[in-house]
Amino acid sequence: MKSLVQVVLLCILCGAANGVPTKVAYTPEIVPTRVEGRITQTTVALEQPRCVFDSIETSCTTCKIWLIVANSTGVTRFDQMKNDFLNTSALSYKDAFTGPNGFYFTVKTERDFYVCPPTATPNEILALRVGSEVPCKTPNCNVPLPTGGTFRMKYVLVDPDLTTPNIVAETEYTQVIQLRSATDPNSIDTNPGRRTGGMIVITVILAILLFLLLAMFAAMLAFACCRKFDQPDFSVPQTTSGSLRKYHTHSLHNPSGAIAQKANM
């Protein structure tokens, strides 16, 4: 076992000396399904490469982590070019898919940003949104991806101080990622003669409910009008028991209770 480890380390050292990037046994993946918008028409949410390059070229304090975005042509093209010096600024999104390369460098990140976190938060998802930078202001910006395109992606560790092969380590490629495509408005069927059975049932139910609502409204209106015509034009005076007082006309009132007699003429 010890000899096997020594052979592997020797191969890695020889490969690094010959300018061959160190292959890291890590495959970038899309974030879990519970995250909304994992794949859209122009973006992809990848897991961040935490701890991936911690043990590679530890003495390289200026090394940067880049993301490679490639189509089917770019995967082969990058593998042909990675053992030479690559100018990351020249390999930008601008002509990546219109020229012969088919790939570009983007999302340059300091190596220390992706070191292993000291403590992991439960259920925490650290995502890298590919294609989210709008507006694009730099040659290697994280530009939105072409709608409906097919891509594969990988992380690479680049030493900017090298003028010889400057890619010192790389991960595996992702699986093929298919972006979503927008529905062509011209393909939407607007012919009412092709409605499904479910649509017809829903339309009938809504029509019945509308009819019942109008019938109830008409009945309430008729009832209110009938009550109005049944009422008399004049209100009946109300008599309240115990609320009236007894009054006497003073000119006819005799304190003695008898009517005064006329004087004899």
Sequential DSSP letters for 64-91: EEEEEEE-HHHHHHHHHHTTS---TTTS
Residue 9 falls inside a structural domain: no
Q: Dihedral sign, CA of 63, 65, 69, 72?
A: positive
Q: How confident is the model at residue 201 (pLDDT cuts 50, 70, 90)?
A: confident
Residue 28 falls inside a structural domain: yes
Residue 23 falls inside a structural domain: yes
pLDDT the model gives residue 16: 45
Residue 73 falls inside a structural domain: yes
Q: Is the pLDDT of residue 260 over 80?
A: no
Number of compact structural domains in the chain: 1
Q: Enter the DSSP assignment of 229.
A: H
Class of residue 192 by CB neighbours under 10 A (exposed 0-12, middle 13-18, buried 19+):
exposed
Residue 215 falls inside a structural domain: no
Range of the structural domain that residue 166 is part of: 19-181
Tell me the CATH number at 60. 2.60.40.10
Q: What does pTM read for this prediction?
A: 0.64
Residue 156 falls inside a structural domain: yes
Q: What is the pLDDT of residues 238-252, one digit of tens each?
A: 555 555 555 555 555
Q: Enter the DSSP assignment of 39.
A: B
CB 163 within 8 A of CB 64: no
Residue 12 falls inside a structural domain: no
Residue 25 falls inside a structural domain: yes
Q: What is the pLDDT of residues 96-149, one digit of tens each?
A: 998 899 999 999 999 989 988 766 566 677 899 999 999 988 989 999 999 999
CB 148 within 8 A of CB 40: no
**What's the residue count for the chain?**
265
